[in-house]
Chain A
Amino acid sequence: EAGVTQFPSHSVIEKGQTVTLRCDPISGHDNLYWYRRVMGKEIKFLLHFVKESKQDESGMPNNRFLAERTGGTYSTLKVQPAELEDSGVYFCASSQAWYSYNEQFFGPGTRLTVL
């Protein structure tokens, strides 16, 4: 069974540009999470989808970040316009049922560098 995949693995963009990160969760997983790790800091929760609905987006840093989950399958995280402080590694994770805790499986991350 395929794990969580993320695309691209690396992205280098100029300040002010737009970048879209993609996450494909494990098939059949209701929950999808986005996290971010800025260099030297802890991994921080951004948001949580249950199927196609945003369950918790309290960790989103500001309105330059927009997350979507089409049809409850893959998810995209768009940063527009990107700022220097957005640089970091963005992780996606997925887990099975929404009604109880199940192990979160993580993707390898997308390393975003904003110049």
Chain B
Amino acid sequence: AQSVTQPDIHITVSEGASLELRCNYSYGATPYLFWYVQSPGQGLQLLLKYFSGDTLVQGIKGFEAEFKRSQSSFNLRKPSVHWSDAAEYFCAVVRSGGGADGLTFGKGTHLIIQP
């Protein structure tokens, strides 16, 4: 079965600084990978996804992620964070590796922005 690990429960970053949130997955083949963000009181919003092709994917709100097969990682990055980026971020993989199946999530990373 697939699993997703987000090793950092909390990350604190100064406004304007760069950000990298880590995600490692466990799956034999190339999975469908996602990053979601949840702001307080809101549902989860998709930031970006990777299915195949170019390993560097661009998402909304200035985020990008890089798929590295050799490291089983899909880390999320942003060159300069804004106070509005404070939220909880989730890495996820499709349960079966593809298709319209449900998602397996990591435990999430709380992003705190310092002024």
Contact = CB atoms under 8 A, between A and B. Distances in A.
B63 to A, nearest CB: 15
Nearest to B3: A42
A106 B43 contact: yes
Interface stretch (B11-19, B44-52, B70-78): B44-52
For chain B, which range describes its interface: under 10, 10 to 19, 20 to 34, or 35 or more residues? 20 to 34
B107 A103 contact: no
Interface residues of A, number: 32
B99 A42 contact: no
Nearest to A104: B103
A102 to B, nearest CB: 7
Interface string B32-53: 1000100001111110010100
Interface string A56-71: 1001000000000000
Interface in B46-91: 46, 49, 51, 90
B100 A100 contact: yes
A3 B107 contact: no
A103 B102 contact: no
B104 A45 contact: yes
7 contacts: A45-B102, A56-B95, A91-B44, A101-B98, A101-B99, A103-B46, A106-B44
